[in-house]
Chain A
Amino acid sequence: MIGIYSPGHSILHRTPTGAKLLLLLTFTSALLIFRSITTMGIAAVVLLVAYVLARIPLRLAMTQLKPLRWILPILFAFQWWLLGIESATLITSTLLLAVAAAALITLTTPVSAMMATLERMMRPGQRWGLPAERIALVLALTIRVVPVIADIVNQVRDARRARGAERSMRALVTPVVIKTVGHAHELGDALIARGLDD
């Protein structure tokens, strides 16, 4: 699951958050600017070394990429058909490497540190009305909500199966939407009660 911090004391854990974000930006830009199989190879090695340095277990690293398991093959097939196999390889590997790099940052950085840094980086923009703190909070909330929604979807899927409506899309989407809206209301109340509004 993207966004879950894995505590540790590796060099990556100790690198300041701002520096890590800058590295991520450089890494991703390099992938986009120097589009070649060689670049992808180099980037893959650099990233693997970084994962090893961060002492992230292979299994945890793989779960970071799980959300891509459907989209990547589809993207690849599509690009292959439209632009040929070389472009397809480049585009999918760019995406894969960029997501893996972003995941490494979230694995080695507590969300609170990420929020604080993002807030600091956005501070110059506050003069022009950029709500830095809000943006940082939205980010953290989004990460927190992912497992909750996943839970809701699982519950609804079970309920649907129990009622013998496995194939009905409506029996899945409608309750998920209703429950999600309900959750949003409750979350809003809790945020107000915890002083967010003030």
Chain B
Amino acid sequence: MICFNNVGLTYEDRNVLTEITCELNEPRVGIIGANGSGKSSLLRLINGLTTPTTGTVTVGGLDPTDHGRDVRSRVSFLFSNPDAQIVMPTVGEDIEFSLRRNKISALERHERISQALALVGLSDYQEHPAHLLSSGQKQLLAMAAIMVTEPDILLCDEPTTLLDRRNTRVLIDIIDALPQQIIMATHDLDLVSQWPRVLVMEHGEIIADSSGHEAVATYKATVDR
């Protein structure tokens, strides 16, 4: 369970987030809003990449700033740019990197790497150099490298922005089928319009918090007015 309690975030003198109070319990929560409205900042607070200036954030009762390790072992983050998320030279090694702290047998390690690759359809690419994958395949690899750790919560920051239609579909289908709680910031309004809960951000505030359908309408209205 993710709780924001009167959270504010300031860079120098600029208010990036103001008075954010909410609880996110639904299995799917979307975040939409204009560029610079604070979507990424909100997500980054949840796994402790950013520390709030005022107020508190808790995840399962833990403060991500003080318990970064525990929170991040349960909360994963999928960014937009796959190139920045892949840290090892080959596909298999990058997934293995996620498991480096798990004390498991070589056999189980191998097993879990295979499963993760199968989940995203990259089974034939285990020995493949990561830099030779297409952008879409790289993002799928980033996804596999995250899912192999079996997190409880997945934060996604515009995960399909750099993908073509087909790869967007593939990634979204995978995400849809996941049992994890997913919090996703996106500009893809069609995608979240069916979701049970979507937040609309504007100038660092949540201006609407409703069903996807209503939230999308609210957001469109702010653009047109």
Contacts and interface: CB of A to CB of B under 8 A. Distances in A.
A32 interface: no
Interface stretch (A19-27, A45-53, A138-146, A164-172): A138-146
Interface residues of A, number: 26
A3 B47 CA distance: 33
A110 interface: yes
A133 B79 CA distance: 25
A144 B72 CA distance: 24
B115 interface: no
Contacts of B76: 193
A195 B101 contact: yes
Given A5-B127, A190-B79, A143 B72 contact: no
A82 to B, nearest CB: 38
A193 B145 contact: no
Interface string B77-90: 10101011111111
B14 to A, nearest CB: 18
A156 B47 CA distance: 33
B87 A198 contact: no
B98 interface: yes
A113 to B, nearest CB: 10
Interface string A109-152: 01110000000000000000000000000001101100110010
Contact of B87 (A110, A141, A151, A197): A141
Contacts of B96: 112
Nearest to A148: B83
B97 A194 contact: yes
B89 A193 contact: no
A198 B88 contact: no
Contact of B131 (A147, A187, A190): A147
A86 interface: no
Contacts of A148: 83, 131
A192 interface: yes
Contacts of B84: 183, 186-187, 189-190
A21 to B, nearest CB: 18
Given A186-B84, A198-B72, A5 B49 contact: no
A74 interface: no
* Interface-central residue, A111, A143, A148, A193, by most chain B CB under 10 Å: A193
Contacts of B131: 144, 147-148, 151
B68 interface: yes
Contact of A197 (B68, B83, B93, B129): B68
B73 interface: yes
A148 B84 CA distance: 9
B89 A143 contact: yes
Contact of B93 (A112, A151, A190, A193): A112
A41 interface: no
Contacts of A147: 129, 131
Given A140-B89, A144-B87, A198 B73 contact: yes
Interface of A: 3-5, 7, 110-112, 140-141, 143-144, 147-148, 151, 183, 186-187, 189-195, 197-198
26 contacts: A3-B89, A111-B90, A112-B96, A140-B89, A143-B89, A144-B130, A144-B131, A183-B83, A186-B84, A189-B49, A189-B79, A190-B77, A190-B79, A191-B87, A192-B49, A193-B76, A193-B79, A194-B85, A194-B87, A195-B72, A195-B73, A195-B101, A197-B68, A198-B68, A198-B69, A198-B72
7 tightest A-B CB contacts, nearest first: A186-B84, A198-B69, A147-B131, A193-B77, A190-B85, A7-B127, A112-B93
Given A4-B129, A110-B90, 18 more contacts: A4-B89, A7-B127, A111-B88, A112-B93, A112-B96, A140-B87, A140-B88, A144-B89, A147-B129, A186-B79, A187-B87, A190-B79, A191-B87, A193-B49, A194-B85, A194-B87, A195-B101, A198-B68
